Amino acid sequence: MPLKLTNTLTRKKEDFKPLDASNVRLYVCGVTPYDHSHIGHARVCVVYDILYRLLRHMYGAEHVTYVRNFTDIDDKIINRAAELGKDPKELADEMIESFHADMKALGCLPPTHEPRVSDPEVMAGIITFIEDLMKKDAAYATSDGIYLDISKVETLKKQNEGYHYGQLSGKKLGQLIAGARVEVKREKRSPGDFALWKFSKPEEPASVRFEASFGEGRPGWHIECSVMGEQLLGARFDIHGGGEDLQFPHHENELAQCVCRHGHIHANTWVHNAFITVDGKKMSKSDGNFVYIKDALRDEQGAPLFSGPAVRLWLLQTHYGRPANYSHDALEAAWQRSVGYEFADLQAVARDGDQAPTLPEPFLAALMDDLNTSKALSVIDKTKHRSQQQAMLAFLGIETQAEREQTALSKEEETLLTRRTAARAAKNWAKSDHIRDDLEARGIMLEDHPDGTTTWRRK
Ligand SMILES: [Zn+2]
């Protein structure tokens, strides 16, 4: 059964064939750490985490390399750090830590490599890459930086290379030029040319100034991904992923740089996930209708709101290629669904024992068909075998209670639970309800069963 993926570059659902099955290579554009991450970032990370898990299942965990970068040098970081009176590096480090906490809560596996633009070897690679483009006359200097000449894609690409600039985003060169007119600079050879390197401005802090043969400055945005991909995955690799808003200019420009340097595209399959809507409107940071991941997990007082597995489940209910709508009700419904799995899971432990679970064929078939996670979830709902259900949930990274270490009760919580059991046995309902409320306030939900037993889980 082949894995099928929709390739943005060809606009087709294609059978995936790795260049080298002993090292399947995936690159995903990561975050710019100038603020906490929002649920749009959660979607990108969860979608490619599923792809990563599936590739590991198909080829073996040690045969898949996954790179996700941090754009830790950027105007947004510099400006935000200046507002906060911090050094840009300090701000980026804090936000990277916050991102990692979010990813852990959402059950995302750490990628093989998480390079940063500020890593000395990445910066050295960026400078070499640009020097090479300048030697080929594909890059040139203006008064504020070094630019890529996009017309060189046609002259530098190898004869059998089908790529043309604008192919990925579906834009025509004329449109691109018209779109760029607002910022027309006389010094640019063509309005569509973009910055590979920005010369330092006097007000910028020392931590974002880098020496280069062509002048002190810092990289433009697109160049870093071309360099990190090449350094960690080679000049040509299998899959490049990201949110669909990155198709243009980011990914198109990555392709242009790589074709100018190597004569060929750097990634064969381009996968893009759709955006998030909030209460029906496209989520956008500039419109202010965005939701931080941490705010879906905890309320303003810091008390648990929705669990990481519930947020993950909500994201997986929609195919990655379609917009997912965020609302409190949608999260609540996903949370209820995840709770259903957790209780099923607890009751299953006794029923199934140690029997080795298997992944049902329809479950894998759904995922192999362009990561149809909503269909895979419906297979989970239909299964009668609890150990299988648990195995499928684990495959999707939806941790059930039994797997979550942090769910162990503290001594104090255990005492409360024991006292409540005693109160119930004594039919002291007022006391029993009071303890239930107390535990609920601590994020521990109880369920009383007809046989007199009580199970608990963390919200
Ligand atoms: Zn990128």
Residue 200 Cα to ligand 1 middle (Å): 22
Residue 251 Cα to ligand 1 middle (Å): 7
* pLDDT above 50: residue 220: yes
* pLDDT above 80: residue 138: yes
Rounded CA gap, 110 and 70, in Å? Answer: 13
Q: Judge residue 86's burial from the number of C-beta atoms within 10 Å of its C-beta, 0-12 exposed, 13-18 middle, 19 or more buried.
A: middle
Per-residue confidence at 216, pLDDT binned at 50, 70, 90? very high
> 432 versus 409: which is more confidently predicted?
432
What pLDDT is stored for residue 345 in this prediction?
53
pLDDT digits (tens, 9 = 90+) for 241-269: 999 999 999 999 999 999 999 999 999 99
Cβ neighbours of residue 333 closer than 8 Å, sequence gap 6 or more? 314
Per-residue confidence at 410, pLDDT binned at 50, 70, 90? confident
Residue 28 Cα to ligand 1 middle (Å): 7
Q: What is the per-residue DSSP string for 205-226?
A: -GGG-B--TT-SEEE-HHHHHH
Mean pLDDT estimate for the chain: 90
- Beta strands 217-219 and 194-199: pairing type? antiparallel
Say if CB 29 and CB 239 are below 8 A apart: no
Residues around ion ligand 1, judged by CB within 5 A, are 29, 225
pLDDT digits (tens, 9 = 90+) for 181-213: 555 567 899 888 999 999 999 988 888 899 999
Residue 413 Cα to ligand 1 middle (Å): 46
Per-residue confidence at 349, pLDDT binned at 50, 70, 90? very low
Residue 246 Cα to ligand 1 middle (Å): 8
Residue 59 Cα to ligand 1 middle (Å): 25
> 257 versus 414: which is more confidently predicted?
257
> 304 versus 149: which is more confidently predicted?
149
Residue 250 Cα to ligand 1 middle (Å): 6
Residue 31 Cα to ligand 1 middle (Å): 9
pLDDT digits (tens, 9 = 90+) for 72-121: 999 899 999 999 999 999 999 999 999 999 999 999 999 999 999 999 99
CA distances from 169 to 80, 173, 222, 246, 318 (A): 30, 11, 15, 9, 23
Rounded CA gap, 444 and 315, in Å? Answer: 24
Torsion of CA 111, 276, 383, 57, to 10 degrees: -20
What pLDDT is stored for residue 344 in this prediction?
63
Cβ neighbours of residue 189 closer than 8 Å, sequence gap 6 or more? 140, 147, 149, 151
What pLDDT is stored for residue 385 in this prediction?
80
Report the percentage of the chain scoring pLDDT > 70. 92
* pLDDT above 70: residue 369: yes
What pLDDT is stored for residue 179 in this prediction?
58
Residue 225 Cα to ligand 1 middle (Å): 5
In the predicted model, what is the mean pLDDT of residues 56-75? 96
Per-residue confidence at 407, pLDDT binned at 50, 70, 90? low
